[in-house]
């Protein structure tokens, strides 16, 4: 089985109030981070793994200059066996890339681009305190196509206070009009400890009701399905047609890298806060650039913690990851992986969840219903 390689670039232009990913805004650390990242690549034995995906995320990778990105991709290839037909993705934010930069990305082998547009409405971008404008979005999409990216992904956020079904539908329409191969629709989460959640606790920000959020989610599912996008995970939709509207293999436009996270494939994460998983071990790096740099200056791996998952933990993880995907948990795979009979072991749980309209199970698969998709965490909790 091929593995995935993830590189976390911990820099952003500014910190969005809802975000709990690790990133900083101190641009003076770009050069020293890059040297540390390269040391980390050299320190990590690839443990016999072969990779067919490389994902440069963050943070905002596109705030690095092109020479830095070139070095990252070059050293990744030098340090790890990365298959020639790999999916190589970079996340960019509108307003942080130029056409020239995107052309260089393409030339150095990046073949998939994910743009964090979030919304085509200025009021939403202001609420989210994004550093880009609507015209930045349109320009970045145009440039990405012009630079030759045939795999274009757009990220949208729904559930923004004040958002209506009409304005959300208009976001979806404008996204689809750009003809991306992939669309992600993320619900705005009030993550504990973020300024956004602080605003909620103090009463400055009033979240949309659960009912409104459900409606927006259903709007996205219905609209995107109608436009030829197949939902393959709770938040992710892939276009299923190619040139001259020929149907594609359903997996063609899916994020191969993210599918690894959901299917127990091994992956190695580099950079501050990055996670790695090589069954049955999970390990994660410091979520602190200072500690990350200090460890690597001493030629030590910047690992903050390691956990060895028990069979029981692996089983719950398999349920969580399986249910995130629209195809659901493959019962045969689950049974042979854990030497269990899924239907026998979870008979009462499945019956109860099915009665509540949250899961739908057949002999071969067990998947969430659309209603269950919005309640993933509570559904998984019932299996423990």
Does position 140 interact with ligand SF4 (CB under 6 A)? The reply is no
Smallest gap from residue 16 Cβ to ligand SF4 (A): 3
The answer to the question of residue 15 lying near ligand SF4 (CB under 6 A) is: yes
Is residue 235 at the binding interface for ligand SF4, with CB under 6 A as the rule? no
Residue 247: count of CB within 10 angstroms of its CB: 10
**At its nearest, how many Å lie between ligand SF4 and the CB of residue 62?**
10
Q: CA-CA distance, 139 to 64, in Å (whole number)?
A: 19
Helix, strand, coil percent content, the chain, rounded in steps of 5: 45, 25, 35
**Residue 19 or 169: which CB sits closer to ligand SF4?**
19
DSSP states of 61-119 = GGGS-HHHHHHHHHHHHHHS-EEEEEEEEEEE-TTS--HHHHHHHHHTT--EEEEEEE-
How many degrees, rounded to 5, is the angle at CA 263 between CA 323 and CA 77?
A: 145
Residue number with CB closer to ligand SF4 (21 or 338): 21
As measured in angstroms, the least distance from the Cβ of 98 to ligand SF4 is 18
Residue 1 gets which letter from DSSP?
Answer: -
Residues 106-135 vs ligand SF4: string with x where CB under 6 A? Answer: ----------x-------------------
Quick one: which segment of 8-16, 162-170, 266-274, 334-342 binds ligand SF4 (CB under 6 A)? 8-16
Nearest distance in Å: CB 69, ligand SF4: 17
What distance lies between CA 147 and its chain's CA centroid? 23
Residue 267: CB minimum distance to ligand SF4, A: 19
Task: Tell me which residues in 41-80 interact with ligand SF4 (CB under 6 A).
Answer: 58-60
List the beta strands (DSSP E) in the chain: 3-9, 51-58, 82-92, 112-118, 152-158, 182-187, 229-233, 236-239, 267-270, 275-278, 281-285, 303-308, 329-330, 359-361, 365-368
Q: Is 190 in the site for ligand SF4 (CB under 6 A)?
A: no
Report the interhelical angle of 99-107 vs 66-79 (nearest 10°): 10
Place of tokens 């990405």: 144
Q: How far is the CB of 158 from ligand SF4 (least distance, A)?
A: 15
- Closer to ligand SF4 by Cβ: residue 113 or 361: 113
Least distance from C-beta 327 to ligand SF4, angstroms? Answer: 29
Tell me the number of residues near ligand SF4 by CB under 6 A.
11
Question: Shortest approach of ligand SF4 to residue 286 CB, angstroms?
Answer: 17
Burial class (CB in 10 A: 0-12, 13-18, 19+), 166: exposed
Q: Is 21 in the site for ligand SF4 (CB under 6 A)?
A: yes
Strand order in the sheet with 82-92: 229-233, 236-239, 182-187, 152-158, 112-118, 82-92, 51-58, 3-9, 267-270, 275-278, 281-285, 303-308
Is 269 among the residues that bind ligand SF4 (CB under 6 A)? no
Stretch binding ligand SF4 (CB under 6 A), from 9-17, 73-81, 159-167, 327-335: 9-17
By the rule CB under 6 A, 93 interacts with ligand SF4? yes
Nearer to ligand SF4, 188 or 208 (CB): 188
Q: Is 23 in the site for ligand SF4 (CB under 6 A)?
A: yes
Match 């899924």 to its residue by tokens: 342
Min dist CB 381 to ligand SF4, Å, is 27
- The answer to whether 16 contacts ligand SF4 (rule: CB under 6 A) is yes
Minimum gap (Å) between residue 15 Cβ and ligand SF4? 5
Contact range with ligand SF4 by CB under 6 A, out of 11-19, 168-176, 211-219, 299-307: 11-19
Query: Which parts of this chain interact with ligand SF4 (CB under 6 A)?
Result: 12, 15-16, 19, 21, 23, 58-60, 93, 116
């Amino acid at each position: 089985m091929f593995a995935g390689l993830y590189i976390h670039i911990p820099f952003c232009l500014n910190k969005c109030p809802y975000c709990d990913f690790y990133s900083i805004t101190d641009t003076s650390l770009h050069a020293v981070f890059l040297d540390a990242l390269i040391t980390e690549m050299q320190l990590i034995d690839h443990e016999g793994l072969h990779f067919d995906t490389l994902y440069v995320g963050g943070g905002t990778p596109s705030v690095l200059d092109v020479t830095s990105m070139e070095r990252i991709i070059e050293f990744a290839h030098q340090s790890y066996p990365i298959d020639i037909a790999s999916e190589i993705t970079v996340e960019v934010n509108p307003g942080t890339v130029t056409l020239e930069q995107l052309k260089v990305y393409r030339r150095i082998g990046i073949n998939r681009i994910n743009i964090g547009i979030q919304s085509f409405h200025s009021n939403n971008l202001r609420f989210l305190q994004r550093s880009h404008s609507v015209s930045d979005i349109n320009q970045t999409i145009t440039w990405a196509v012009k630079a030759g990216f045939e795999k274009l992904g757009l990220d949208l956020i729904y559930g923004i206070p004040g958002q209506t079904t009409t304005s959300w539908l208009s976001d979806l329409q404008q996204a689809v009009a750009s003809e991306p191969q992939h669309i992600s629709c993320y619900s705005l989460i009030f993550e504990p400890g973020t300024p956004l959640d602080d605003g909620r606790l103090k009463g400055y920000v009033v979240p949309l009701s659960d009912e409104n959020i459900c409606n927006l989610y259903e709007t996205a599912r219905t609209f995107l399905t109608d436009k030829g996008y197949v939902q393959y995970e709770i938040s992710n939709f892939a276009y299923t047609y190619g040139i001259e509207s020929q149907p594609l293999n359903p997996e063609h436009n899916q994020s191969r890298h993210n599918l690894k996270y959901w299917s127990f494939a091994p992956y190695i994460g580099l950079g501050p806060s990055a996670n790695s998983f090589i069954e049955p071990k999970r390990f994660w790096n410091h979520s602190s650039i200072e500690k990350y740099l200090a460890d690597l200056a001493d030629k030590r791996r910047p690992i903050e913690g390691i956990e060895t998952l028990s069979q029981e933990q692996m089983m719950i993880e398999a349920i969580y990851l399986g249910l995130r995907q629209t195809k659901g948990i493959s019962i045969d795979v689950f049974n042979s992986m854990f030497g269990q009979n899924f239907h026998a072991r979870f008979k009462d749980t499945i019956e109860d969840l099915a009665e509540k309209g949250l899961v739908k199970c057949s002999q071969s698969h067990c998947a969430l219903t659309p209603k269950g998709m919005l309640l993933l965490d509570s559904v998984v909790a019932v299996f423990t």
